[in-house]
Amino acid sequence: MWGYFEWLIFRFGLLQGIAVAAAIALLGFLGCYVVALARYGPGEGFYRVTKVIYELIARDLPGTSWRRIHALARLAFQEAIRRRVLVVMAVFIVGLLFAGWFLDPSSNNIARLYISFVMTGTSYLVLLLGLFLSCFSLPADIKNRTIQTIATKPVRPTEVVLGRIFGFTAVGTMLLVVMGVLSYIFVVRGIVHEHGVRDIASDGMSGTTTYDSAHSHTFEMIEDEDGVVRRGTTDEQKSHRHVITVTEVDGEKRYTVGPPEGLLAARIPIYGKLQMTDRAGKLGGGLNVGYESEYQKYIEGNSLMKAIWTFEDIGPERFGDGAVLPIEMSLKAFRTFKGDIVTGVQGEIVLKSPDGRVESDRIGFIVKEYQLDHREIPRKLQGAVDGVPREIDIWDDIVQDGKIQIEVRCIDPGQYLGMAPADLYLRAGDSTFAWNMFKGFLGIWMQMVLIICLGVMFSTFLSGPVAMVATLTCLVLGFFGNLALDVATGEAPGGGPIESLIRIPLQTGAMVDLDLGNPVLETTIKMVDRGIMWVLVSLFQAIPSFGQFNTSDFVAYGFNIYGGLIARHLTMTLSYFVLTSLIGYFFLKTRELAAA
C-alpha cells in the first residue's frame, strides 16, 4: 500500500527503472556492435551503430510528425476492423447472455462472483486481441510488400512504430469501453432481487422477509424522534442488507423492502501497523498453528498475547461527522476443541492512546469467519484515564498527535485468533462503485497497452508466429514471474536448474543437501546455477509484471483502488511504452524495408 512517491523514491522504483533501461541500452549497443563488427569490421561497425543513434536524436525524433502518426494509426485502426476484431465483442456478449447458467445465484456474495467473472473474461479477451493484432500486422505487410508503399514515402521509423501502437490501442480501447459499460449493467442488474414481508410481530416492530435468492432476512423497525415508525433495516445475509419502509394506505401499514445495499461498495480503508505480544506480554511474533501459509499469525486465547494495531494521521474529519469510529475486521479462528464448530470464538477490542494512559473498556465480539465484521465505536464511551474510570472521548482523549492504538485479544482458552496487518482497518467512507470499476478496467487497459507495445516491438524484427510466441512468453512470465523469481533467486528449495535436473534421477528431496561425493563438482554446479539464476532474475526484472496491473480483486471485494497505485501503474506503462518504442525503432531502422 505504498504511496506514489514512496514507491518512486524510497522503494527505488525510479532507480530500478533507470537500471533496467541502462542495462538494456548497454546490451543492445554491444549486441548491435558485435553484428556490425562481423559485417563491416571494428571501425566501420562502430560508425554504423553510432550513426543510427545519431539519426534518432538529430533527425527522426525532431522530425516526427503527429499528422503522419495519426494517418498511420488510422490505417492500423481500419486494418484491425477489416480483420473482424468485432468478433471479440460478439464472444463477450454471448458470454454475458449465458453466464446465468454457470454463475451460482445462491453465492454468499453474488456481486463478487459477477465482478470477477466480467473483469477476468474482459482481461483475457482484450489481451488475446492485443496479442494477435500487434504481432501479425507489420510482418504481414513486409511479407506482402505492402510496407513498400509507406517506406518509399517520407515516413520515419518512429512514426511507423507509434502509428501501429496508437492504432491498435484505439481499437482495443473502443472495445474495452463497450465491454466496461456492458459489464457494469450486467453486475448492477444481476444483484437485484426482491423480498416481500412474510411475518410481522404484533407490535409491528420486527418481522421476517420472504425467501428469495436462496436467503431471507429478519428486520427491526426504528422509531423516529417524533415517535413515528417509518424505517427499519434487515440483518445482514450474503453480505448485504435491505432498508424497510412503512407507508400507511387506507389505515393499513404497508412494509416495502428496498433493494440490496452493501454489495457494490468501494471502501476507503486506513491501514495500520501490526505488532503482537507473546505469552509473557512482550512484543514478539505471533504463533504458527501449523498452516503452510505465513500470511496470518495467531494469538492464543486467555493469555497475555494480543494484537496491537497503530494508526496514524487519524482525525474526526476523516470519518464524516466523527460521531463514530468505523472498524472492519476479517479475523480467522482456529479451534482446538474440534467437537464444537458452531459456537463462535470470542474476542475483545480495546482502544488505547499511544502513551497507554487512556484506554476504553473492553468491547466484546464473536468472530465472524469468512465474512467482514463491521463495527461502529461511538465517540463517547466508558474507559479509564491513568486507571481512574470515567467517560472518555475518542478524539479528545485517546487520539494523540493523530495516532491511536487498537488492541485485539482472544478470551476463549484453548482457541486462537489469526490476523494479518490488513485484517483490521478503519473505514474512512466510501468511493463510488462505478468510478472504482472504471479504475479496475483502467488496469486492464494498461495490460492491453503493454501487450501491444511488446507485440509491435517483436514484430519489427521477427515473423508473425515467432513474434507471437515471444510476446506470449513475456505475458506468461509477467503473470507467473513471482513463482519463477523464487526459483531464480534461490528462495524455493531444490537449487537451480542444473541441480534440480541432478536431483530427479537421484530421487533426492528438495530439502536435503545435495551430496555427490565430490565437493569440487558440487561447488561448480552451484556456481553455474548462480550464473543462470542471475540471468533469470535480470530477465524477470526487465519484463513487465502483468499481475500487478490486475486490480479486479479490489473491485470484487469492495475496496477503493487508491490513486497512488493507479499513478504507479501509469508510470510503469509509460516507461515500457517509451522503451519498447525505442527498441522497435532501432530494429526497424536497420531493416531494409524497401528491399524486403
Query: Phi and psi (nearest 5°) for 301?
Result: -75, 150
| pLDDT for the residue numbered 244 | 93
| pLDDT for the residue numbered 149 | 64
Residues 480 and 577 placed together within one structural domain of the fold:
yes
Q: Is residue 552 part of a domain?
A: yes
Residues 40 and 126 placed together within one structural domain of the fold:
no
Q: Is residue 9 part of a domain?
A: yes
Residues 229 and 341 placed together within one structural domain of the fold:
no
Residues 151 and 118 placed together within one structural domain of the fold:
yes
Q: Is residue 264 part of a domain?
A: no
Q: Structural domain tally of the chain?
A: 4
Q: Is residue 315 part of a domain?
A: yes
| pLDDT for the residue numbered 152 | 56
| pLDDT for the residue numbered 125 | 93
Q: Is residue 263 part of a domain?
A: no
User: Which residues, listed in sequence order, are joined to residue 462 by a DSSP beta bridge?
Assistant: none
pLDDT (tens place) for every residue of the chain, 596 residues total? 788 888 899 888 889 889 888 988 998 899 889 988 998 899 998 998 999 999 999 999 999 999 999 999 999 999 888 877 888 889 999 998 888 788 887 888 899 999 999 999 999 999 999 999 999 888 887 777 766 666 556 788 899 999 999 999 999 999 999 999 999 999 999 898 889 999 899 888 999 999 988 899 999 998 887 888 889 999 988 889 999 999 888 778 889 999 999 899 999 999 999 999 999 889 988 898 887 677 899 999 999 999 999 999 999 999 988 899 999 999 999 988 766 667 789 999 999 999 999 999 999 999 988 888 999 999 999 999 999 999 999 999 999 999 999 999 999 998 999 999 999 999 998 999 999 999 999 999 999 999 999 999 999 988 889 999 999 999 988 887 676 667 666 677 777 788 888 888 888 877 787 888 888 888 898 888 878 877 777 777 788 889 889 999 999 999 999 999 999 999 999 999 999 999 999 998 886 543 43
Check which CATH number belongs to the domain holding 392 and give it: 2.60.120
Last residue of a domain, one of 373, 408, 430: 430
Residues 327 and 411 placed together within one structural domain of the fold:
yes
Residues 228 and 135 placed together within one structural domain of the fold:
no
Last residue of a domain, one of 233, 257, 281: 257
Residues 207 and 279 placed together within one structural domain of the fold:
no
| pLDDT for the residue numbered 99 | 85
Q: Answer yes or no: are the C-beta atoms of 236 and 373 closer than 8 Å.
A: no
Cα–Cα distance measured from residue 491 to residue 481, given in angstroms and rounded to the nearest whole number: 13
Residues 51 and 69 placed together within one structural domain of the fold:
no
Cα–Cα distance measured from residue 13 to residue 567, given in angstroms and rounded to the nearest whole number: 12
Q: Is residue 262 part of a domain?
A: no
Is residue 256 within a helix (H) or strand (E), and if so which, with residue range? strand 252-257
| pLDDT for the residue numbered 101 | 80
C-beta pairs of 356-361 under 8 Å, 24+ apart in sequence: 357/385, 357/386, 358/383, 358/384, 358/385, 358/392, 358/397, 358/398, 359/383, 359/384, 359/398, 360/392, 360/398
Is residue 571 within a helix (H) or strand (E), and if so which, with residue range? helix 563-589
Q: Is residue 595 part of a domain?
A: no
Domain range for 171 is 64-190+432-589
Query: Which amino acid, 575?
Result: S
Residues 572 and 448 placed together within one structural domain of the fold:
yes
Q: Is residue 539 part of a domain?
A: yes
Residues 501 and 555 placed together within one structural domain of the fold:
yes
C-alpha cell at 279: 505469552
Last residue of a domain, one of 378, 399, 430: 430
DSSP H helices in 196-239 = none
| pLDDT for the residue numbered 56 | 92
| pLDDT for the residue numbered 594 | 38
Cα–Cα distance measured from residue 443 to residue 552, given in angstroms and rounded to the nearest whole number: 8
Cα–Cα distance measured from residue 423 to residue 332, given in angstroms and rounded to the nearest whole number: 9
Residues 413 and 478 placed together within one structural domain of the fold:
no
Is residue 459 within a helix (H) or strand (E), and if so which, with residue range? helix 433-459
Residues 423 and 436 placed together within one structural domain of the fold:
no
